[in-house]
Amino acid sequence: MNNASIKALRPLAVAVAAAALAFAAQAGEVEVLHWWTSGGEAKAAVALKGTLQAKGHSWKDFAVAGGGGDSAMTVLKSRVVSGNAPAAAQIKGPSLQEWAQEGVLANMDELAKAEKWDESLPKVVSDIMKYQGHYIAAPVNVHRVNWLWVNPEALKKAGAKAPTTWDEFFVAADALKKAGIVPLAHGGQNWQDFTSFEAVALGLGGVDFYRKALVQLDPATLKSPTMEKVLSTFRRLKDYTDRNAPGRDWNLATAMVIKGEAGMQIMGDWAKGEFVAAGKTAGKDFLCLPAPGTAKSFTFNIDSFAFFKLKSEPNQKAQRDLASAIMSPDFQELFNLNKGSIPVRMGMKMDKFDDCARASAKDFADSAKSATLVPSIAHGMAVPSAAEGAIKDVVSQFWNSDKMSTAQAMDRLVAAAKQR
State the number of binding residues for ligand GAL (CB under 6 A): 12
Nearer to ligand GAL, 292 or 380 (CB): 380
Cα separation, 266 vs 290, in Å, equals 9
Q: Report the nearest approach of ligand GAL to the CB of residue 329 (Å).
A: 20
Residue nearest to ligand GAL (CB): 67
> In the stretch 128-147, what mask flags binding to ligand GAL with x, by CB under 6 A?
---------------x----
Per CB under 6 A, does 332 bind ligand GAL?
A: no
Query: Quick one: which of 67, 86, 205, 292 contacts ligand GAL (CB under 6 A)?
Result: 67
Which residues have a Cβ under 8 Å from the Cβ of 205 and sit 6 or more positions away?
A: 213, 226, 227, 229, 230
Query: Quick one: which of 30, 62, 69, 357 contacts ligand GAL (CB under 6 A)?
Result: 69
| Interface region with ligand GAL, contact rule CB under 6 A, candidates 15-23, 67-75, 122-130, 355-363 | 67-75
Query: Quick one: which of 41, 198, 321, 354 contacts ligand GAL (CB under 6 A)?
Result: 41
Buried residues in 223-247 as b, exposed as e (16+ CB within 10 A): bbebbebbbebbbebbebbbeebee
Contact call for residues 338 and 262 (beta carbons, < 8 A): no
Nearer to ligand GAL, 234 or 270 (CB): 270
| Interface region with ligand GAL, contact rule CB under 6 A, candidates 64-72, 99-107, 280-288, 329-337 | 64-72
Nearest in space to 137 (alpha carbons), one of 99, 84, 83, 102? 99
Contact call for residues 278 and 254 (beta carbons, < 8 A): no
Cα separation, 107 vs 273, in Å, equals 32
Nearer to ligand GAL, 108 or 302 (CB): 302
Per CB under 6 A, does 301 bind ligand GAL?
A: yes
Per CB under 6 A, does 379 bind ligand GAL?
A: yes
Q: Report the nearest approach of ligand GAL to the CB of residue 250 (Å).
A: 6
Per CB under 6 A, does 35 bind ligand GAL?
A: yes
| Interface region with ligand GAL, contact rule CB under 6 A, candidates 66-74, 196-204, 310-318, 403-411 | 66-74
Query: Quick one: which of 198, 269, 303, 321 contacts ligand GAL (CB under 6 A)?
Result: 303
Query: Quick one: which of 68, 93, 139, 293 contacts ligand GAL (CB under 6 A)?
Result: 68
Q: Where would I find the H helices in 159-263?
A: 166-178, 190-210, 219-222, 225-237, 250-259
Contact call for residues 373 and 364 (beta carbons, < 8 A): yes
Strand order in the sheet with 373-375: 143-144, 298-301, 373-375
| Interface region with ligand GAL, contact rule CB under 6 A, candidates 17-25, 33-41, 100-108, 383-391 | 33-41
Nearer to ligand GAL, 270 or 305 (CB): 270
| Interface region with ligand GAL, contact rule CB under 6 A, candidates 35-43, 50-58, 224-232, 289-297 | 35-43
Q: Report the nearest approach of ligand GAL to the CB of residue 334 (Å).
A: 16
Per CB under 6 A, does 183 bind ligand GAL?
A: no
Neighbours of 129 (CB within 10 A): 22
Q: Report the nearest approach of ligand GAL to the CB of residue 414 (Å).
A: 26
Cα separation, 32 vs 46, in Å, equals 12
Give the three-class secondary structure for 30. strand
Contact call for residues 262 and 185 (beta carbons, < 8 A): yes
Q: Report the nearest approach of ligand GAL to the CB of residue 144 (Å).
A: 11
| Interface region with ligand GAL, contact rule CB under 6 A, candidates 34-42, 166-174, 199-207, 342-350 | 34-42
Q: Residue 27 corresponds to which amino acid?
A: A
How far separated are the first and last CA of the chain, in Å rounded?
75
Per CB under 6 A, does 272 bind ligand GAL?
A: no
Q: Report the nearest approach of ligand GAL to the CB of residue 50 (Å).
A: 18
Give the three-class secondary structure for 21. helix
Show the beta-strand stretches assigned E in 35-135.
58-63, 88-90, 130-131, 134-135
Q: Residue 4 corresponds to which amino acid?
A: A
Nearer to ligand GAL, 149 or 209 (CB): 149
Nearer to ligand GAL, 143 or 186 (CB): 143
Neighbours of 24 (CB within 10 A): 10
The number of residues making up the chain comes to 420
Task: Name the residues that contact ligand GAL, by CB under 6 A.
Answer: 35-36, 41, 67-69, 143, 250, 270, 301, 303, 379
